[in-house]
């Protein structure tokens, strides 16, 4: 450990074991001043800098800047954050390991040692995003889906087995285990991290970054972590710190307790709405107040999980007695628990009801007693709707002319209507990690079955727990049988419907939807409901608690007020209302009390072993990977074929618009994760390579193939490119020909003519999952710059990380105010110097020759990012630095 300018190195002894650590108290007495009222998250960042001080990447002045956080003299500077570890899921993890394999090739080509490319900090990859709901509503659904998953993903999984063997510090949790965030919460996270160096053991806060935006879930356990793009994660794996600005921290005071019948899901949807309205993009959120003592750890994790939905970098809950109780419940060792308590109390990282409140940049407040049953949708998680207003909310998005249209379902006596629920899925890390809402779902199912109710025939039902522990406690409570009777059989342990792996609807249902062009719905216990994400045929998607998912499966429609209208009829023909089958808080608590540590110890005892099919996968040998040129899953990327540092900025000349987009363009719009249409450029590519449509799998599963993903970039079926008014899907207008083409085909024509490209969009560009391929695909399409009104944090960073210039309108400028239509060309002059956040002149040349110059803001935000950009991206920069050594 270098540095120690503030004499902070100390010793801590716990149960006879000695640990070295950097003491905030000691640093306070050595010139950093009073640190007591700093937010917990800022204290964690401060410790990180004290521990990593080296006089170069981390200087004494950086430490002083963070120590002065919140004061009038505090500079809003740049710091280098070094996480303890990295977490990945397979959609984003596979291309990350593909990149590392390609970097090994590049090192070998340059005469270096390929083994130099190796994770420098612990990395865990959990395979959780590839199981699809092909089979449902039967006792054999789980086995059938897992068998199909292994069949589809054979190449990807064999590649990961190679990576597990070839790289140090890299572990893989096999498929069929659980969702990465729930596995992290229940097993991987330690609360505080210990590291053996020579003869000493160092202890420090457990921190991480992950390649999934919902990495933030772990903040519910008092572990500071957030999602980054795969590009940043790869750099962190290779020992590079995360460059970031000292954040603002918004405090969120919680008081009171949740009322009868209200769930943690209702709470998180309320919190999401409040924080989105306040505006917390790029900021930390820290929860405090007397209400924390009323929130179980699982409820905290539910709130922390949805930080991307409320726009924050993280939503943090400090460590306290409730945290320790959860660590014990989930089977962590006594030494781990005692170390967490002793270290946090010594460091001032322990929360108690009687402590002085930290100082925050701003404070919001919520009385938990005011929360009401809610859903969110139909296409954004922050658009909360009270349960008793669902009929009105649904009807507001239906076509006005034929709202009551009824379409016969082929081979059935039933009819399908606008607003009907065709997918009801208990899915996603957000809620399946929470025993209270899962038990509540089971109790609703039990009471419904006892009343003689059943789910509607047109509803596709599924249950995808985040870990096998959920199955253990539902079985012990005797509730899984009732869920099974309503069709909520386990379909897999992974991220299914929430990521778009909802699988096909039955043929007759799909036919009826298309025949009537019906606006049908999904109701899911997930965190994302963006357009085109859940299923191509569901135009309205509603987020809800697991018990409400069951309720809407029973009702079969969202055009209902469940507070006043019957959900169905009992076996005697009498109306049954939601209140008749809704469990009391006491009933739920009685079921939750059945959860015990033995369940966690049993299910995680062999977490890295996998089943026989996993263990029998062929594992290639060698430090470098033997690429298969015929593979449609794993192909060597071209990002490292040329390496050079270009000082300044080369400029853009006569660039054309590839897409003119509106507000809230998500990473789902840019890099869809779901089904591949046969008629799309990606579908054509697969057919040309002999892949039948039934074996297309998903965009997300094929991110290890650059050729496919460049064809999938901007291919979302709900993308609306204003260059072709009224269009939907990945299409654009080529200039000067005026031809309407797919975005991919147009880009190839432009690349062939050496024409650079830009994309112009509105506010909140890049919202959603932290997909590195949204930036990689952008680069491969020949796009040199993105110009928007504002960015979401991760995607802006990813663009810089791939050498794509993020620009932002200044003042009141926007595409609408400037009257852009796609026929223009754009010029950005070259410059010998490129600086973070500098203003640049962008010239717009109209089709009639008229010229206009506007000022745009360069959203390369830090000096470190400038260095990355000038190297052609962060990974090129790391590789160049490595070769220097």
Distance CA 544, CA 529 (A): 11
Q: How far apart are CA 489 and CA 331, in angstroms?
A: 27
Domain 82-242+614-626 CATH assignment equals 3.30.499.10: yes
Distance from the first to the final alpha carbon of the chain: 20
**736 preceded by cis ω (within 30°)?**
yes
- Burial 320-333, CB ≥16 within 10 A → b, else e: bebbbebbebbbbe
Domain ranges for the chain: 9-75, 82-242+614-626, 374-595, 652-884
Tens of pLDDT along 405-429? 999 999 999 999 999 999 999 998 8
HSE at residue 768, side-chain half, CA atoms within 13 A, is 26
CA 809 to chain centre: 27
Instruction: List the structure tokens of 243.
Output: 């460059």
The CATH number, out of the four listed (3.90.230.10, 3.40.630.30, 3.30.499.10, 3.50.50.60), of the domain defined by the range 374-595: 3.30.499.10
Give the containing element (helix H, strand E) for 591. Answer: helix 585-592
Contact yes or no for 369/257 (Cβ under 8 A): yes
Which residues lie across from 787 on neighbouring strands? 760, 807
Q: Quickly tell me which residue has 């608590």 as its tokens.
A: 589
Nearest-angstrom CA–CA distance, 875 and 228: 14
Write down the architecture of domain 652-884 according to CATH: Alpha-Beta Barrel (3.20)
Question: For residue 1, is pLDDT > 80?
Answer: no
Report the alpha-carbon distance of residue 360 to residue 134 in Å, rounded: 48
What pLDDT, on a 0 to 100 scale, did the predictor assign at position 639? 81
Tokens linked to 797: 């960073």
Residue 130's pLDDT is 87
Res 654: pLDDT: 97
Q: What angle do CA 403, 408, 413 make, to 5 degrees?
A: 130
Q: What integer is the mean pLDDT of 536-563?
A: 96
| pLDDT tens for each residue of 136-158 | 999 999 999 999 999 989 999 99
- Average pLDDT score over residue span 351-373: 96
Q: How confident is the model at residue 531 (pLDDT cuts 50, 70, 90)?
A: confident
- Residue showing tokens 């996270």: 189
Q: Does residue 779 have a pLDDT over 80?
A: yes
CA atoms within 13 A on the CB side of 752: 7
Domains 82-242+614-626 and 374-595 equal at CATH topology level:
yes
Rounded Cα gap, residues 879 and 883, in angstroms: 6
pLDDT at 674: 79
- Look at residue 770 in the predicted model and tell me its pLDDT: 66
pTM for this predicted structure: 0.88
Instruction: Write out 716-755 in H/E/C secondary structure.
Output: CCCCCCCCCCCCCCCEEECCCCCCEEEHHHHHHHHHHCCC
Q: Residues with Cβ < 8 Å from 693, sequence gap 6 or more? A: 678, 683, 687
Structure-block tokens of residue 55? 């006089």
pLDDT reported for residue 803: 92
Placement of tokens 């009829």 in the chain? 569
On the CB side of 434, how many CA atoms lie within 13 Å of its CA? 34
List, for residues 53-97, the tens digit of each pLDDT value. 999 889 999 999 999 998 766 657 889 999 999 999 998 889 899
Q: How far apart are CA 538 and CA 180, in angstroms?
A: 27
What is the pLDDT confidence band of residue 2, given thresholds at 50, 70 and 90? low
Residue 404: partners with Cβ closer than 8 Å, 6 or more residues away: 417, 418
């Amino acid at each position: 450990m270098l540095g120690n300018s503030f004499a902070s190195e100390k010793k801590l002894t716990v149960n006879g074991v000695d640990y070295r650590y950097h003491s905030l108290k000691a640093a306070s007495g050595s010139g950093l001043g009073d640190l007591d009222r700093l937010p917990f998250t800022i204290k964690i960042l401060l410790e990180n800098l004290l521990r990593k001080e080296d006089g170069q990447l981390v200087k004494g002045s950086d430490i002083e800047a963070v120590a002065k956080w919140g004061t009038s003299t505090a500079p809003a500077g740049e710091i280098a954050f070094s996480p303890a570890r990295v977490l990945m899921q397979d959609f984003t993890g596979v291309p990350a390991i593909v990149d590392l394999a390609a970097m090994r090739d590049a090192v070998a080509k340059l005469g270096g040692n390929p083994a130099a490319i190796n994770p420098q900090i612990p990395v865990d990859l959990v395979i959780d995003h590839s199981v699809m709901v092909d089979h449902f509503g039967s006792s054999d659904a789980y086995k059938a889906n897992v068998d199909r998953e292994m069949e589809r993903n054979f190449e990807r999984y064999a590649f990961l087995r190679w990576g597990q063997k070839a790289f140090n510090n890299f572990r893989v949790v096999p498929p069929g285990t659980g969702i990465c965030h729930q596995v992290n919460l229940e097993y991987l996270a330690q609360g505080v991290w210990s590291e053996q160096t020579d003869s000493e053991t160092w202890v420090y806060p457990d921190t991480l970054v992950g390649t999934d935006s919902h990495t933030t879930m772990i903040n519910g356990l008092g572990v500071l972590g957030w999602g980054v793009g795969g590009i940043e994660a790869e750099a962190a794996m290779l020992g590079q710190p995360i460059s970031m600005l000292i954040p603002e921290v918004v405090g969120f005071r919680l008081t009171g307790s949740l009322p009868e019948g209200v769930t943690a899901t209702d709470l998180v949807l309320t919190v999401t709405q409040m924080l989105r309205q306040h505006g917390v993009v790029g900021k930390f959120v820290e929860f405090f107040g007397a209400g924390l003592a009323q929130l179980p750890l699982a409820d905290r994790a539910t709130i922390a999980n949805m930080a991307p939905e409320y726009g924050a970098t993280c939503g943090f809950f400090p460590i306290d007695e409730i945290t320790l109780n959860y660590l014990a419940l989930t089977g962590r060792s006594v030494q781990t628990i005692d170390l967490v308590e002793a270290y946090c109390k010594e460091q001032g990282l322990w929360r108690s009801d009687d402590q002085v409140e930290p100082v925050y940049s701003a404070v919001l407040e919520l009385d938990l007693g005011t929360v009401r049953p809610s859903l969110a949708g139909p296409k954004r998680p922050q658009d909360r709707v009270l349960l008793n207003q669902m009929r009105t909310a649904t009807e507001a998005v239906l076509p006005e002319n034929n709202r009551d249209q009824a379409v016969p379902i082929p081979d059935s006596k039933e009819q399908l209507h606008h607003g009907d629920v065709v997918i009801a899925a208990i899915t996603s890390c957000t809620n399946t990690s929470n025993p209270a809402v899962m038990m509540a779902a089971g109790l609703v199912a039990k009471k419904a079955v006892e009343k003689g109710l059943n789910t509607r025939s047109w509803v596709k039902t599924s249950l995808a727990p985040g870990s096998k522990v959920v199955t253990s406690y539902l079985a012990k409570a005797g509730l899984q049988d009732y869920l099974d009777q309503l069709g909520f059989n386990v379909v897999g342990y992974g991220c299914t419907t929430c990521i778009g792996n909802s699988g096909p609807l039955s043929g007759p249902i799909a036919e009826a939807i298309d025949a009537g062009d019906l606006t049908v719905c999904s109701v899911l216990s997930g965190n994302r409901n963006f357009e085109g994400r859940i299923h191509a045929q569901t135009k309205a998607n509603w987020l809800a608690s697991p018990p409400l998912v069951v309720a809407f499966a029973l009702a079969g429609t969202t055009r209902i007020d469940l507070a006043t209208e019957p959900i169905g009829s009992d076996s005697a023909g009498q109306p049954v209302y939601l209140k008749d089958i809704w469990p009391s808080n006491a009933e739920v608590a009685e079921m939750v009390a059945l959860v015990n540590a033995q369940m966690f110890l049993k299910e995680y005892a062999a977490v890295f072993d996998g089943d026989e099919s996993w263990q029998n996968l062929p594992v290639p040998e060698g430090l470098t990977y033997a690429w298969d040129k015929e593979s449609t899953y794993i192909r060597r990327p071209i990002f490292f074929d040329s390496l050079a540092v270009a000082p300044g900025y080369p400029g853009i000349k006569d660039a054309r618009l590839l897409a003119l987009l509106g507000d809230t363009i998500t990473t789902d719009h840019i890099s869809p994760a779901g089904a591949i249409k046969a008629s799309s450029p990606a579908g054509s590519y697969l057919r040309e390579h002999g892949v039948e449509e039934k074996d297309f799998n998903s965009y997300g599963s094929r991110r290890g193939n650059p050729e496919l993903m460049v064809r999938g970039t901007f291919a979302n079926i709900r993308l609306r490119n204003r260059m072709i008014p009224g269009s939907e899907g990945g299409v654009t207008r080529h200039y000067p020909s005026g031809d309407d083409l797919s975005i991919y085909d147009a880009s190839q024509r432009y690349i062939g003519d050496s024409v650079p490209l830009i994309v112009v969009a509105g506010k909140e560009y890049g919202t959603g999952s932290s997909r590195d391929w949204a930036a990689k695909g952008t680069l491969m399409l020949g796009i040199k710059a993105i110009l928007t009104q504002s960015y979401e944090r991760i995607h802006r960073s990813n663009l810089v990380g791939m050498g794509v210039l993020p620009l932002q309108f200044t003042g009141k400028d926007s595409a609408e105010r400037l009257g852009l239509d796609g026929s223009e060309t754009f010029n950005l002059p070259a410059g010998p110097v490129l600086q973070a956040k500098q203003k640049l002149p962008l010239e717009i040349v109209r089709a009639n020759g008229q010229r206009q110059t506007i000022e745009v803001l360069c959203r390369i935000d830090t000096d470190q990012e400038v260095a990355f950009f000038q190297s052609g991206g962060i990974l090129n920069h790391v590789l160049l630095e490595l070769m220097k050594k």
